[in-house]
Structure 1
């Protein structure tokens, strides 16, 4: 009886599929989770770089105007979860504008499984202000 049970091949594919499906789904959904994070992170970085360029072209712009320029480039993100900081720093006689932004996105369904934090995306750009 046991010999006949172990020799029976019916249902083999279903059992193998049941073992492989969770692993495949984790990899597949992880790709989407990581891609979403990278899109947000690149958007934040792009916004800070564009705001630094705006400050370079408009050296008399206030920090609020530079911050608004950064936010204008990140309109696809939730404004309530976005913080933008603009500072003017003097280094060796040259004034630089430093634009930093942080966006906290909602935790995804797989965020806890990655070895890095996929909920906070940051961007930073530094540009000289030449009169």
Structure 2
């Protein structure tokens, strides 16, 4: 019976066991923070493209909607994401609506898709 009590009081390996419980949670926080930062970067890039597309339309008021859309797409580079811009040129203003589909893969068993939108409206001269 005394050997059994000594066995229960033995603390060898508890640090390894605690590490095994905490390490996956730690990795989830680290990679989740990296993915969240990448998502914010993609959102900022989408807004950047919409803003520069609107500025291009302001400087070139006779440009077609396809030209403005291609210019907005040319200034944005987000690898692994699908980006699209919709340009509405109403004569007095230009309205650029951008959308981005982002695949958020923190947990590989359950991929999450997030849709990000950006809009820029600018009056034309």
Fold match, TM over 0.5?
yes
What CA deviation, in whole Å up to 9, does each residue of 1:44-93 have, x standing for no partner?
1100000011111111111111111101111x235982211001347xxx
- Give structure 1 stretches of 5+ with no counterpart: none
CA distance in 2, matches of 1:106, 1:25: 19
Task: Considering Cα pairs closer than 8 Å and 6+ residues apart, tell me whether 1 or 2 has the greater RCO.
Answer: 1
Matches within 5 A, 1:37-56: 37-56=39-58
TM-score by length of 1: 0.80
SS of 1:105 mapped into structure 2: strand
Q: TM-score, normalised by structure 2?
A: 0.84
Equivalent residue, structure 1, for 2:116: 121
Change (3 A) 1:33 1:79: closer
Aligned counterparts, 1:96-115, within 5 A: 96-110=93-107
Listed as ranges, the gaps of 5+ residues in structure 2 are none
Equivalenced residues, count: 123
Q: Which residue of 2 aligns with 1:82?
A: 83
